[in-house]
Amino acid sequence: MAKNAFRQTKIIANFDSVRAGGMATVKLPRNIRIHRLDIMYADGTNVMTAAKCAGIFGQHRLKVGSKEIRVWTPADLQIINATRGLPTSFGGTSGIKALTLPMFFSNPATRTSEGEDATALSAFEKFGVNDLTLEIDINPMDNSQTPAAAIEPKLYARVEYDYVVPNITGQPFFMYWRRGSFPIAGATQGVYNTIARPSYYSRIHLKTANTVKLEVKKNSETIIQNDSRAEYESDMAFKGQDVVPNVWSIIGDGTNRIGDIINLDSADTFEIYATTSAADDIGLLYEEMRALGV
């Protein structure tokens, strides 16, 4: 048993600037290995639904110093969790009315404990983590309502962690999150070929309501081909992955093995072909594995 491997939890309630139109910030603890960060959203006495959360809270950023290591929205986090079958705790009319979104660093679905912990956030000074900050943009009003309503935002967090310091040379691996866009002008096939390389991707999610066909090529060889939404959903089911409405996910680690990723280290080309039934500005959400300090 690894020393200090017991996972502890701590509530973090000291967010600054939690107000309408503000940017809430909180300093997260360091010199710990973080496995999960839960973010709890509330608005006065109202039930916090997914739509209300998206209407009040905007982009989130996790930063080491000034470097953004994860960028996402509440809807993005729900997509990432849902494709892995991971939970979201929605508010109810009785009891807890807040919405809790867990953000996993360790991957509980991985086949081995070593693989699960490989992507934990090793927030230690020895790896250059001298400052760890969570930033959350808050909208001026609740845009989920018509007309937009006044808000009384509240934020809390809970961190699950241990004190295990990875015994490695160099930097630990970490799963970065990035966002992008892939506009397609009409009912046609578009190609996205400017993805960063060299790189290693666990998953790439396409947020799109109008895509009807998806093909992915690496070095001109087709590595994924789904000629319909039904075919895509069947493929996902056979991989043991959950399907999210209006999302097409390119899965590298569907085997739940840490080494089974989309390896673009030596790829000359990587192209995503999406065929749409109408114009669409496809949102891209990348889960990219690389060294923490890179």
* Residue 37, pLDDT score: 97
Phi, psi values for residue 54, rounded to 5°: -70, -30
For the domain covering 173-291, report its CATH number: 2.60.120.730
* Residue 3, pLDDT score: 54
* Residue 32, pLDDT score: 96
Please give the Cα distance from 3 to 192 (Å, whole number): 46
Domain boundaries in the chain?
A: 8-162, 173-291
Give the class (CATH, top level) of 8-162. Answer: mainly beta
List of the chain residues with pLDDT < 50? 1
Beta carbons within 10 angstroms of residue 285's beta carbon:
23
* Residue 4, pLDDT score: 65
* Residue 44, pLDDT score: 75
